[in-house]
Structure 1
Amino acid sequence: MTATITDIERSAPVNLRDLGGIPVEGGLLRNGLALRADDLSVITDEDARILVEGGLAAVIDLRTKDEAALTGRGPLAGYPVAYHHLPLMESISAGMPDGDAPVIEHVAMGMMYARMVEAAAPQLASALGIIALAPGTTAFHCAAGRDRTGVLAAMLLLALGATDDDIVADYARTHGNMAAVMQRMKPTMGALMARLGFDLDAMAVTFPDEPMDISMHTMLARLRERHGDALAPLRAAGLGADTIARLRHRALA
């Protein structure tokens, strides 16, 4: 039976954070420019109210069409918040390792992230344009707030002039949240993965209990190896100097 929003228990996000405070070119990234999060479509009404009252103006949904169809926009649809659906993958299976009982391996994940940047460069460039022009805070999310969300966060921080070490440190903060993330995802992603032959509980068991840093280091290294500049795929897809300048201005305002 296909799950719908009416039979999915809503819960507070467990991997939501403001990117404020990260060193960027010219100073520190201010609070209130960008939030990264796990699934915002299944948050509670109270969480939605708090986000909007805190200045949320736009949501960028990085999930696939199937994920978005399962839960919709959730409570935030009841507020005057701009919604942008920019899937970074065609399907959930595109981000899954091969094998019946796949072991998530950090280097392989980093390689997958690099391919995602190249394949979804237009969506990522559009997302940075949205953040540059939004009249308030922009929140971007996928399901876990780890992979697709981590890729967009890295592209934003690169555009703002952050160092690799600071980009990697932000990405790796999700490591301590993964147990709670996997539990929160079970009603939604568990159902979708089951249809594709994946067991979310089994994947949680096979996930290496070690720092995640290597995935983001691998992505950045791979992109530079292929393109020289890690932002090159986005620049080729339309990310211009004017957008980067506006982002940097907004980041420090």
Structure 2
Amino acid sequence: MNSFEITLSPPVNLRDLGGIPIEGGTLRPGIAVRADDLATITESDASALVASGVTAVIDLRSTGEVALTGRGPLAGQPVAYHHLPLMADVGEGMSHESMRDFSHESMGHMYVRMVEAAAPQLATALTVIALSPGATAFHCAAGRDRTGVLAAMLLLCLGASDDDIVTDYARTGMNMVAINERMRPTMGVLLERLGFDLEQMAALTEALTDQRMAVSMQILLTELRERHGDPLAPVREAGLADASIARLRARALASV
């Protein structure tokens, strides 16, 4: 039972990845949908997602986040649910010392650590997308960081260019004010439990809403290549099979 009242609301950072250029053509709509927190969407939005073809949900939130809000209205819908946390908790990598360097650059370096540490979860998530009979919706809280990392790994599998991966990631920038407002109640509870000053955190988060957001994703892609050669190497080594990548590409190509 949740210890506080959750206000359900429509997602503010939800989009189908269809239309992005990939190797051999264009990513077909109805394969992958990225979103902010789907645990707090309305009943009508949950029904609309299923009606649009969503058959699976990948929840990238921490165990603490899931314990706080559960699965929400989608729990009552006929969708497969996969909890694949990319961080043990929302405070991981967010020590009070590290908050002094809370920037687009530090976020990019954190994404690199996330790919390397959570490669097994990312491999599983990509396999789920490859095997799902319909669209897979994946989300964290804001739909930016953890969701952005999975979106980048998917687009790398599909042969998208770095520029197109960065462009997709940066599209979230225009939604950040609405995202921060929407997730304030739930994230506020978690951050307060971790001992963070909420006013300070709000100011730091606000600083990440400027037009330099693309820097974080550029750092992720550049550092993965510098460290591994193939930016997908950590995920491949964690179990992502060539057959799964081939299936992703076959599913993703739009018909001419």
> TM range, normalised to the smaller chain?
over 0.9
Q: Which runs of 5+ in 2 are unaligned?
A: none
Between stretches 98-107 and 86-95, larger displacement belongs to 98-107
Secondary structure of 1:139's counterpart equals: strand
- 1:38, 1:144 within 8 Å by CA — same for their partners in 2? yes
Identity %: 66
1:218 aligns with 2:219: yes
Mapped partners of 1:148, 1:97: distance in 2: 18
Correspondence for 1:91: 89
Correspondence for 1:145: 143
- After superposition, residues 184-195 of structure 1 pair within 5 angstroms as 184-195=182-193
1:17 aligns with 2:18: no
Correspondence for 1:231: 232
Aligned mate of 1:117, from 111, 115, 125:
115
Mapped partners of 1:35, 1:200: distance in 2: 30
- After superposition, residues 54-203 of structure 1 pair within 5 angstroms as 54-96=52-94, 98-99=96-97, 102=100, 104-203=102-201
Per the TM alignment, residue 100 of structure 1 is displaced from its structure 2 partner at its CA by 8.8
TM-score by length of 1: 0.95
Cα offsets for 1:210-244 (capped at 9, x unmatched) = 32011001011111111111100001001111000
Mapped partners of 1:195, 1:91: distance in 2: 12
Aligned residues: 250
Per the TM alignment, residue 52 of structure 1 is displaced from its structure 2 partner at its CA by 0.6
Change (3 A) 1:114 1:216: same
Secondary structure of 1:188's counterpart equals: helix
Secondary structure of 2:49's counterpart equals: helix
- 1:97, 1:104 within 8 Å by CA — same for their partners in 2? no
Per the TM alignment, residue 198 of structure 1 is displaced from its structure 2 partner at its CA by 2.1
Secondary structure of 1:8's counterpart equals: coil
Which residue identity lines up with residue 10 of structure 1 in the other structure? L
TM-score by length of 2: 0.94
Change (3 A) 1:199 1:10: farther
Q: Which runs of 5+ in 1 are unaligned?
A: none
Correspondence for 1:41: 39
Which residue identity lines up with residue 231 of structure 1 in the other structure? L
Per the TM alignment, residue 103 of structure 1 is displaced from its structure 2 partner at its CA by 5.3
Secondary structure of 1:10's counterpart equals: coil
- 1:97, 1:103 within 8 Å by CA — same for their partners in 2? no
Per the TM alignment, residue 252 of structure 1 is displaced from its structure 2 partner at its CA by 1.1
Per the TM alignment, residue 104 of structure 1 is displaced from its structure 2 partner at its CA by 2.5
Which residue identity lines up with residue 142 of structure 1 in the other structure? C
Correspondence for 2:253: 252
- 1:101, 1:202 within 8 Å by CA — same for their partners in 2? no
Between stretches 210-219 and 79-88, larger displacement belongs to 210-219
Secondary structure of 1:187's counterpart equals: helix
Correspondence for 2:243: 242
Mapped partners of 2:65, 2:223: distance in 1: 28
Correspondence for 2:29: 31
Which residue identity lines up with residue 63 of structure 1 in the other structure? R
Mapped partners of 1:79, 1:184: distance in 2: 23
Per the TM alignment, residue 200 of structure 1 is displaced from its structure 2 partner at its CA by 4.4
Mapped partners of 1:95, 1:38: distance in 2: 21
Between stretches 148-157 and 87-96, larger displacement belongs to 87-96
Mapped partners of 2:101, 2:183: distance in 1: 18
1:3 aligns with 2:7: no
Q: CA RMSD in A?
A: 1.4
Which residue identity lines up with residue 3 of structure 2 in the other structure? A
